[in-house]
Amino acid sequence: MLWDAYNRPIKDLRISVTDRCNFRCIYCMPHDEYEWIDKKEILTFEEITRLAKLFVQLGVNKIRLTGGEPLVRRNLELLIAQLSSIEGIKDLCLTTNGALLADKVEALKTAGLKRINVSIDTLSPEKFRQITKRGDLTKVLEGLFAAKSRGLHPIKINAVIERGVNDDDILDLVEFSRENGFSMRFIEYMDVGNTNSWTSEKLVSKKEILERISARFALREVGRENGSAPSVDYEFTDGRGEVGIVASVTEPFCSACNRARLTADGKLVTCLFSSVGHDLKALLRGEPRDEEIFEFIAGVWKKRQDRYSAERLEALQSSSYDPKNRKKIEMITLGG
């Protein structure tokens, strides 16, 4: 097992398969154009699979495919088939905006995908369009229910809550998920990347989200899955499912963070708020032996000291926090 400088093991690998996206969510990539990764720099499925096998040898047992929007990467099911045959991966998951899900779900399931997270911030079609700028809620819901009828389970719905935008949608989303057997995950709005104009006034805290839900439904805290998951989970006491809240801003979980990220162009990134990545692609394309890649990853992880969210909370509490002080890698590049 591989440990970092704060005794955190490497367990969870988030792989961004593309930095492109068919949406322009206001909290993630509000601009039309970014500095896109050149096509020839994008890792091939074979390169990703080779790296994934090495990460598994180092302790990773969970892989999430993300982006950008992973379903805009052509033939993604071929990668899923390769990854799902790696021994040692206990959990392979995909996070998607759902726009292309209805067309893709059959191929994804056949390739071995078992579960999925779909991002839906509101059930109002007009507001959905305002938040995503390019999204069609009907199409996303079609994908969500196609995934359900094709037997993907559990299906989690992710919603980023932003004050004045969709904080009045919390209960609708909870009711919708309870009625249809989905798990709701509310995510505190974070200052990811450099373009989303985050301010603490736009944040709706876990405490507030919880108060709004508990005013309607009785909840019992279950805790974090495996003690290290980003989400704190609660079950409805009437037995009708559960809801989770990811409180990166108000209750940071850096002390248990076991997540590594691989960007679409093969950089190893050790924190969602990192400014730099470590170039695995350059190494990989120099035709190294597996041992050399293994040593490179281990060397990076052993030195890891990231605890950005914990530092942000300390700075917020002393009113000295300015998100612009650090130039971060965009979330679409490093994978949410």
What is the closest distance, in whole angstroms, from the C-beta atom of residue 161 to ligand SAM in the complex?
A: 9
Q: How far apart are CA 173 and CA 120, in angstroms?
A: 9
* CB closer to ligand SF4 out of 4 and 77: 4
Contact between residue 58 and residue 9 where contact means Cβ atoms under 8 Å apart: no
Is 128 one of the binding residues for ligand SAM (CB under 6 A)?
no
d(CA 222, CA 243): 10
95 forms part of the interface with ligand SAM (CB under 6 A): yes
Beta carbon nearer to ligand SF4, 253 or 296 = 253
The least CB distance from residue 216 to ligand SF4, in Å, is: 27
C-alpha dihedral, 279 to 281 to 282 to 285, nearest 10° = 160
Task: Report, in Å, the least distance between residue 268 CB and ligand SAM.
Answer: 18
Instruction: Say what the alpha-carbon torsion angle 146, 147, 151, 154 is, to the nearest 10 degrees.
Output: -140
> Interface with ligand SF4 by CB under 6 A: which residues?
21, 23-25, 28-29, 67-69, 97, 119, 248, 252-254, 257, 259, 271-273, 306-309, 332
Distances (CA, A) of 10 to 47, 161, 245, 259, 313: 20, 29, 23, 6, 24
Query: Binding ligand SAM by CB under 6 A: which of 10, 15, 17, 21?
Result: 21
- How far CA 335 is from CA of 63, 95, 131, in Å, comes to 12, 10, 19
CB of 143 to ligand SF4, least distance (A): 13
Q: Is 96 in the site for ligand SAM (CB under 6 A)?
A: yes
Please, is 177 exposed, middle or buried when counting C-beta atoms within 10 Å of its C-beta (0-12, 13-18, 19+)?
Answer: buried
For residue 24, the partner it binds in ligand SAM, ligand SF4, none, with Cβ less than 5 to 8 A by kind, is ligand SF4
Task: Centre a 10 Å sphere on the Cβ of residue 296 and count the other Cβ atoms it contains.
Answer: 18
189 binds ligand SAM per the rule CB under 6 A: yes
**Residue ranges in contact with ligand SAM by CB under 6 A:** 21, 27-28, 66-67, 69, 95-97, 119, 158, 160, 187, 189-190, 192, 196, 331, 336
